[in-house]
Amino acid sequence: MPLKSVLDPDPDMPFSGESLRKGRLEPDFTPEYDAWKLRPGQDTNAALLKKVSPVIDTAMTTYGLGQSASPTLRSKAKLMALKAMTSYDPSKGNLRTHLLSNLRGLQRASAQEQQIISLPERVAIQQKQLIEMEDNLRDQLGRDPSDGEIADATGLSHKRLAYIRRAHSGIAEGSITSETAEGDVFTPASRSLGPQNDAWMDFVYYDLGPTDQLIMDYTMGRNGTPQLPTSEIARRLGVTPSAVSQRAARIQAMLDEQHDRMGG
C-alpha cells in the first residue's frame, strides 16, 4: 500500500481542507454559497441574499436602524452583503460574523441619509468654530453672548451667523412665537416693513445693551438663534420673567417707531 503524501490529505481526516471549509462555513449557507461561488450571477445572487436575509435583518437592528430603515438603505445593505461575499474566506471564520462585520458601514450610510441638508465643508468648520466661540464667551461672561458680541469676536456678519445656524435646521425665521409670563404671545417685529424694517431693526439692535440684545435675539429668533419662552430667557439671564417682558415691550416700542413713521 503506497504511503500517503502530505500533499494529498485523506478526505476523512478531521483537518482536511474540505472538512475545514465545512466547519467554518455554516451548513445552512453552504448550498447557496457554493452555487454562488461556482457561478456568480443574478439567480445565485438572489438565492444567496435570500438565505442570508436574517443576518442582514440582524445587522439593521444591531446598528440601530430596525424597521425604520428606508427601502434605499435596505437595498444598500444587500449590495454591501454581496460585496462582502467576495472577500469572505471560509477557512478564517463563519459567514455570519463576516457579514455582520462588513455591514457595520450601515451606520454611516444611515447618518448620511438622515442628514436633510449636506453641509459644505467650510460651513461645517465654521459651525464648529461658532459653537466653540459661544462656549468661550459664555464662560467669560457668565451668560449667553448676544449675536453682537459673537459677531465682534468671530468677525462673522450677522447674515453669515444666520446661514451657519440654519444650515441644518431649515427653520424659518419668525415661525415660532414666545409666551410672556402672563401667557400672552409676544412676537416683536411681526409687521412686514420690507428692507427699511431690516435696517431699522439693526439700528435698534446695536443701540441696545448686551442683555437687551439677547432678549431681542431670543424673542425674534434673529440670525437662526432659537426662539425661547420668556421663562427660559429669564433663567438664562438670571432675571425675573416680568423683567424680560418689560424689556421686550420696550424693544417692541422702539421697533414700532418706524412702523408709525411709515403710516402703518
DSSP states along 119-173? PPHHHHHHHHHHHHHHHHHHHHHSSPPPHHHHHHHH---HHHHHHHHHHHH-PPT
Residue 171: per-residue pLDDT: 37
Residue 31: per-residue pLDDT: 93
pLDDT mean for each 10 residues of the chain (264 residues) = 44 41 77 92 91 90 65 83 92 90 82 59 79 86 86 86 70 35 36 51 84 88 83 88 91 76 52
Asked if 184 and 234 count as a contact pair (C-beta separation under 8 A), the reply is no
Distance between CA atoms of 12 and 236, rounded to whole angstroms? 77
Residue 10: per-residue pLDDT: 44
Which residues lie closer than 8 Å to 94 by C-beta, 6 or more apart? 24, 25, 26
Rg, the chain, Cα only:
32
Residue with cell 431693526: 201
**Other C-beta atoms within 10 Å of 242: how many?**
13
Residue with cell 459677531: 151
Residue 14: per-residue pLDDT: 41
Count of alpha carbons within 13 Å of 234, Cβ hemisphere only?
17
Residue 186: per-residue pLDDT: 38
Residue 51: per-residue pLDDT: 94
Asked if 22 and 30 count as a contact pair (C-beta separation under 8 A), the reply is yes
Residue 73: per-residue pLDDT: 78
Residues pairing with 203 in the sheet: none
**The three grid cell numbers given for residue 81, joined into one nine-digit string:** 452583503
